[in-house]
Structure 1
Amino acid sequence: MSAAAELASGKGHKDENFPVASHLIRPRHRAPIMAFYHFARAADDIADNESASADEKLAGLEAMRRTLLGQADSEPTAEGLRAALTECRLDPTHPLNLLEAFRRDVTKTRYQSWDALIDYCRYSAMPVGRFVLDVHGEDRALWPANDALCAALQIINHLQDCGDDYRTIDRVYLPQDMLAGYGARTEDIGAASASPALRSVIVDMASRCEQLLAQSAAFARSIRDGRLALEVAVIQRLAIDLSARLRTRDPLSERIVHRKTEALGLALRAVIGRWLGR
């Protein structure tokens, strides 16, 4: 059994907070996107496993890298993505960047500043959207808008999961200088509810996510592929709503996610808005 299989969490694309290659995406593009997702899910499970040692995790990630590059055949999800890259005539830059983020997850548990967190997002989040754009043959001039959206999505996830991340794997994505600046302690993240100081940090970070989402506001309108544009419009709308909720609600005392009916309503509004905009 491969390291990824041994450390698998059992999570799938339907467990994610944002759509992954939904049926809005053209069928011919869904397969490589799902191959990328399965690769990312396997690597994420390795990095986040609560019982494996750091050395075991790094060895598992290295096996995925070697398989992706054709130097080994030990990890099925990496083999699948390697085949997809060949078929799409893409190089492995984006998944290799993603692996760097997961190596950081193993070796780095604190981020000093917002800029350091954004640098992490350059490896953990931005390559995902860039890969999707490349699969669709979109202009790389769209990368800045993509990067803003993907960074916002990543940080929203960090805020949603901040309590669990701290309690289970001692990982904190809330910048240390922001915690100190508002008079919050790292230990506050493990409480049943957020202190006023910690709430201030969360509100500040959610507001910064909204600034990133303002930078990606025109992203969907700039995408040539109409179905991908709809998918991006939906994701943008869901992210705007979640960042607004995080400014007013406490992710330590409640799970801040969309119910299926809420997500569907927001998605429909985004699709209708996109079509009316056209």
Structure 2
Amino acid sequence: MSSDNPGREPTPALLATRPRHAPRSPNGTPPPAPLVAAPVTHYENFPVASLLCPPHLRQPIAAIYAFARTADDIADEGDATPAQRLADLVAYRAELSRVAAGQPPAARWAAVFGPLQATLRQHALPVPLLDDLLSAFIQDVEKTRDAQGYADRAELLDYCRRSANPVGRLLLHLYGVTGEQALQESDAICTALQLINFWQDLSVDIPRGRHYLPHADCARHGAGPADLQALHSTPENVLLITDCAQWARALMEQGAPLVHRLPGRAGWELRLVVQGGLRILDKVDALHGASLHTRPRLHAWDWGVMLGRALVM
């Protein structure tokens, strides 16, 4: 889900994080929109439109991935000021409205919005779900700018509802899966993946002024902000991180039956996504709070564990 330079778009079902922006020509202008979306080039914990994905859906999934990843890069990459990031996200949001209304993509993000517009037309994607992602990125920039965290789990879940859950729902739309139970299970998986991203990236996020451990949970466990900011693994912080990891695990297990509702290879892809998230939680638990200063990540041998577990789900 996260890259080596993690951002904040979660990596919900079948979709992970971070394609790079489209390359620029020597004079600095963007190239013409390609017929296909930019390939995945970042390190990922989870599959992104892999060989398990039905071939006819790889391009639509890549187009959604490129849209979300580029927006996240605007919100998170480089040394732009918060004001510049917010202005660019507002412009990006306006471009989404333009192409959804049938207007041709402007030059600035043509490499993203060209393939996305084709996907919107071919698959009638629900545009409000794409817009929800952008509202979450805007909120993230504002909260980081203002050094704010999240008051409680309800507030953090509302963020996940917009930053993570839309991706799973978009993918279910592509697969033609519309049942309410499936949507709820998708939301549980996507929210779990977003929370796992947070607990995996504590050692990276906190020094960057990004705080996702809910204040109410910190207070309940007696975890002081000074120790968290200093990345100290106190007994209180260990209990806090363990509790938050258990919360994410419970959500993942709640959503896991969705793997049996998706057809063919899509269900197998989702099995690996679920097991990838659970494997990261195994590593968070094994660190006993040391994830405050050590970022757990998957290694080659973990994929064997994940595959074995996926086979018996």
Deviations 1:66-104 (A, max 9, x none): 222226623231343222111212231221110011011
Query: In structure 2, how many angstroms separate the alpha carbons of the residues matched to 1:217 and 1:65?
Result: 32
Greater relative CO (CA pairs within 8 A, separation 6+): 2
Deviation at residue 12 of structure 1 after TM alignment: 4.5
- Other structure's SS at 2:98 match: coil
Q: Does 1:148 align with 2:188?
A: yes
Change in 2 beyond 3 A, CA 1:191/1:19: farther
- Other structure's SS at 1:52 match: coil
2:49 to 11, 21, 40: 21
Q: Does 1:30 align with 2:58?
A: yes
Counterpart of 2:45, as a letter, is N
Relative to the length of structure 2, the TM-score reads 0.78
1:222 aligns with 261
- Other structure's SS at 2:80 match: coil
Q: Does 1:234 align with 2:262?
A: no
RMSD: 2.1
2:123 aligns with 88
1:244 aligns with 282
Query: In structure 1, how many angstroms separate the alpha carbons of the residues matched to 2:200 and 2:83?
Result: 28
Counterpart of 2:267, as a letter, is A
2:34 aligns with none
Deviation at residue 238 of structure 1 after TM alignment: 1.7
Deviation at residue 193 of structure 1 after TM alignment: 4.4
Equivalent residues, number: 264
Note if contact 1:12-1:41 (Cα within 8 Å) is conserved in structure 2. no
Question: Higher helix proportion, which one?
Answer: 1
- Other structure's SS at 1:251 match: helix
- Other structure's SS at 1:30 match: helix
1:39 aligns with 67
**Equivalent runs, 1:72-83 vs 2, <5 Å:** 73=106, 74-76=108-110, 77-83=112-118
1:62 aligns with 90
Deviations 1:141-173 (A, max 9, x none): 2110000011110001001111211212x1101
Query: In structure 2, how many angstroms separate the alpha carbons of the residues matched to 1:50 and 1:204?
Result: 33
How many percent identity over aligned positions? 34
Note if contact 2:202-2:295 (Cα within 8 Å) is conserved in structure 1. no
Relative to the length of structure 1, the TM-score reads 0.88
Note if contact 2:202-2:293 (Cα within 8 Å) is conserved in structure 1. no
Change in 2 beyond 3 A, CA 1:47/1:186: farther
- Other structure's SS at 1:218 match: helix
Structure 1 gap segments, 5+ residues each: none
Q: Does 1:165 align with 2:199?
A: no
2:238 aligns with 199
Deviation at residue 38 of structure 1 after TM alignment: 1.0
Query: In structure 1, how many angstroms separate the alpha carbons of the residues matched to 2:41 and 2:65?
Result: 8
Structure 2 gap segments, 5+ residues each: 1-20, 24-38, 100-104
Note if contact 2:203-2:295 (Cα within 8 Å) is conserved in structure 1. no
Query: In structure 2, how many angstroms separate the alpha carbons of the residues matched to 1:78 and 1:194?
Result: 44
